[in-house]
Structure 1
Amino acid sequence: MVLTYFRRRKTFTLRDKIPPAFAGDAGRLGFIVFMQVAAMFGEGKGGVVDKPDPRAAGDVVVVKIHAVPMCTEYKGFISGGTGDRFGHEAAGEVVEVAQTGRVKVGDRVVVQPQNSCGKCQMCAIGEHIHCSGGRNIQEIVGTEPASATYAQYLHKMEDLLSPIPEGVSYTHAGMACCGLGPTFGAMEQMQVNSLDTVMVTGLGPVGLGGIVNARYRGARVIGVESHPYRAALAKKLGADVVFNPTDEDILDQIRDFTDGIGVDKAVDCSGASAAHRLMVDAARRKGQVTFVGEGGDFPLGASRDMIRKGLVLRGNWHYNLGVYPRLMKVIQDSPEQIDTFITHTFPMREVQKAWELQATGECGKVVLDPWA
């Protein structure tokens, strides 16, 4: 006889009720254990569905997710997308391991995005985000991997789990993913400091995280954003001024604010070609420009923009895992800013409302609670 248990919200989890000696063999014992995951149903509809609980195997552990920061998944929602594998940001607790390794049951962890091989040159130096190989998780666990974070449980390789310091909440710790991570990595590379004027273009959640990071380093901060809600939120987070990119004289405004010199360092988080061009034009001679927002092409003159001006241009996706403790210190030292940055929290079963809110732009970082 096969016993099937459907976990509902606000009820105990069968994983916690199975004796530890048998937990890893639940399937063999006849238990089919289900968790809830977020799903898009098309036509602007979303909710949760049941999927089998993940089980640990090899160095792939199971994480019980407590906080799910939302990224750009809402774009698929508003275009009528469907599916049940969403999300790449999370913070949670290790609840199952298959072997002794880097983490143990009970560890509180940040789930790093992406998949990596753990062996190549990039992985060896902490640049897992740039690994070109990755691993086949399905071959390790023997079933379809639970790799999406909009869920109650998750499969994850143990080397992509970073420890959460004591006293840091799951919700705040989750900001070490895309909330603060990409712009932290950019500012680490540019060595932003208190002598700098930093411009951040595109003040969605990633760009707002850039305001937090730049202010933490003591820089004078310029934001560039057209949405009134986001512009106001940026000022609350520490931006000295926010310019509207639709103003025809925005470049003159930036130059006036910097006494005609230009900004020392600039980070784009919009992916807009116009913002890319603005960064290059607004940067001072020997300045630095970092592209974080994914986007299209823009005109760039090697002589005019780089050689004669002496600019350093770079791209940044995430951050080196070796600097994770420094990023976590930003979070630990900035509790009020992080609370302001996270404007909304929803139960995961209300994911449709969360996606609808994100589509309006009337929010900062939004977090889902899989267990509420």
Structure 2
Amino acid sequence: MTPSNEREMAELVQDASGPLSLNGGGTRPIGSPVAGRALSTAALSGISLYDPGALTLVAGAGTPMAEIEAAVASEGQRLAFEPMDHRVLLGTEGVPTIGGAVAVNASGPRRVQAGACRDSLLGVRFIDGTGTLVKNGGRVMKNVTGYDLVKLMTGSYGTLGVLTEVSLKVLPAPEATASLSVAGLGIERAVEAMSAALGSPYEVTGAAHRPGGPDTAAVTTLRIEGFEASVTYRAERLKALLAPFAAVSVERDQEAVARDWQAIRDVAALADGEAAVWRISVRPSDAPMVVERLPEAEILMDWGGGLIWARLAEEVDLRAALSDLSGHATLMRASSERRARGDVFEPQAAPVAAIAEGLRARFDPRGILNPGRMG
């Protein structure tokens, strides 16, 4: 079912006699499979308002990300949260949409400086599980009253409502960018180097590390963005700051920098093969322990070590290996059989699970919206 407007969407949800499997651009949702009738937001597409002067954009949930990115780029602006393209890692097709990005809180390397997707969101419109249209937030950051459903809907994976429209802030695109690379660091030294850079006054907007392999050397990469003169100055200062760790190389070609960080954003280094891929969020200081306990895993680290992507065999009990560490792990890629077994998302503590269950009962009392998706 692909309703063409909010009214039709509300009627379909209201009249539903069983579970609904929500999707946007068909890139295959993350999470456990949902046994239900397909309901798509693809036709709820288009930019209804874009005010470059106010740094504000409003679009239907089914609007392709490419359309939004092209529109803001034409005005010298961008989406600050740098959403990843999951098709690269999942090996799927389809069209990424803004609603899908909001539903999974897609947030790329720039999160360390600009925040997550939810931090760019100003307002949402959605259909709850009773078929009622709900509006929250607005077109300016201070227009948020009552329950902050904007934040609540972001990352809810379609389990609380069907997103129909989103309002978000955009930011100016930088005049210049640079990447600084340090080769040959071990995990602990790489985390120290990234922490030093992120703790400096030089406004780092990306901090990633790829451990070495049989045919590749380890590389730690940092990104800075801004006005040309500022980037030049900060690149030199960061180079001096990182000199005690190892030799530092600086890339200033904009296309090369964009290409490298797009690969980091989309976890391209772990895209090959059919092994499971996990997304692990931990304290950066715990990153060396994570890597040590997963000796067979291929690793990519982002967010200064706070985000670890790990590719390893499906039969490995990753959560058992990391059970005493604070954080959470999400199974991002696996066979349909493995995903059907559940535990795709980190099990919630009892108090949190009770709150989540209460929210689902409030917004989807019949339990028809993506049931089991976050199992």
Shorter-chain TM-score above 0.5: no
Tell me the TM-score normalized by structure 1: 0.28
